[in-house]
């Protein structure tokens, strides 16, 4: 069997792979105690706001009354709380698809580092075999959170629990998140998951005793009724590791050296140079989300 490199694939080919893992919006929201129709409509219009087809004032005018009725005092109206760009780093991840071998080391190391529960993986690798024997092509597409500069997930969040940090990371304030899951259906990359409270405790005694300090905050043992159980979770570029001067776990453990991480504001950084490569592209660029994950094909 001949395995050919996937450098002939176009961005649209990878986007089709991504679309296969996107959650069904109605199914996702029907499992939530909040309005399915409101969430689906907001997700649709949030993407219009992001790509300039709808003004932000119009968006708030359309949904303010419904959000107040649906969420009461939990609703935080007004603009999203995206932080202004400062003089610090703007973190970006570059993934070379020619080097990715589909080993899933990134997925495993991410789960181990962030101690995510069953059903939640911040990093996934989509795999596909194309062609006819013996001319078969292996195609791999790793997908962390895109850390969008213009995140639709933040636009639909009724409590403003999702926001953008100065360093470009899209964060979740678990103490403000009410688990409505509107952000899950708004995200065009399938990068968000709801924490149902499942655990590996039966398979790994003591699993719940240690949790990862998501966004640098220690929360103690994993217990029912404590966040992040009942909230939405996602990749944070291993923010707690960045605070220690380390790279995200998926970057550090990639056996094919397919991942690069750094400050794109630094013109001498590796990621800044790779972002200028003719091989560089972002998934679903037409949406206007401006992802901070850049691929090389």
- Tens-digit pLDDT profile for residues 88-115: 899 999 999 999 999 999 999 999 999 9
* Whether the predicted pLDDT of 280 surpasses 50: yes
Of 96, 122, 100, the residue nearest 248 (C-alpha): 122
Q: Does domain 2-296 have CATH number 3.30.70.20?
A: yes
Q: Classify residue 211 by burial, with Cβ atoms within 10 Å: 0-12, 13-18, 19+.
A: middle
What is the per-residue DSSP string for 265-277? TSTTSHHHHHHTS
CA distance 275 to 279: 9
- Going by DSSP bridges, is the β-strand pair 232-234/2-4 parallel, antiparallel, or unpaired? unpaired
When the pLDDT of each residue in the chain is averaged and rounded to a whole number, the result is 93
Confidence of residue 134 (pLDDT cuts 50, 70, 90): confident
Pull the structure tokens for residue 278: 């003719």
Pull the structure tokens for residue 133: 């024997």
What pLDDT score does 6 carry? 46
**Model confidence pLDDT, tens digit, residues 215-228:** 989 999 999 999 99
Pull the structure tokens for residue 64: 């303010």
**Model confidence pLDDT, tens digit, residues 200-252:** 999 999 999 999 999 989 999 999 999 999 999 999 999 999 999 999 999 99
CB 6 within 8 A of CB 137: yes
| Continuous H helices in 139-247 | 152-156, 182-186, 239-242
């Amino acid at each position: 069997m001949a395995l050919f490199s996937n450098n002939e694939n176009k961005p649209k080919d990878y986007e089709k792979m991504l679309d296969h893992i996107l959650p069904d919006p109605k199914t996702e929201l029907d499992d939530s105690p909040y309005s399915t129709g409101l969430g689906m409509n907001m997700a649709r219009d949030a993407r219009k706001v992001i790509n300039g087809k709808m003004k932000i004032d119009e968006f708030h005018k359309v949904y303010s009354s419904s959000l107040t009725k649906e969420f009461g005092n939990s609703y935080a109206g007004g603009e999203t709380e995206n932080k202004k760009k400062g003089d610090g780093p703007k973190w970006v991840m570059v993934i070379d698809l020619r080097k990715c071998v589909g080993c899933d080391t990134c997925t495993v190391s991410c789960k181990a580092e962030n101690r995510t529960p069953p059903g939640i993986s911040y990093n996934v690798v989509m795999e596909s075999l194309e062609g006819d024997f013996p001319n078969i092509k292996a195609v791999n597409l790793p997908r962390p959170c895109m850390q969008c500069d213009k995140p639709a997930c933040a636009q639909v969040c009724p409590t403003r629990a999702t926001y953008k940090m100065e360093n470009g990371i899209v964060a979740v304030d678990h103490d403000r998140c009410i688990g409505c899951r509107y952000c899950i259906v708004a995200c065009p990359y399938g990068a968000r998951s709801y924490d149902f409270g499942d655990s590996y405790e039966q398979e790994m005694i003591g699993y719940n005793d240690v949790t990862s300090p998501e966004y640098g905050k220690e929360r103690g043992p994993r217990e029912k009724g404590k966040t992040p159980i009942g909230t939405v979770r996602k990749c944070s570029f291993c923010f707690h590791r960045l605070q220690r001067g380390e790279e995200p776990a998926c970057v550090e453990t990639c056996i094919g050296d397919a991942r690069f991480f750094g400050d794109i504001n630094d013109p001498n950084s590796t990621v800044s140079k790779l972002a200028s490569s003719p091989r560089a592209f972002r998934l679903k660029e037409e949406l206007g989300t401006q992802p901070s994950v850049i691929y090389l094909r």
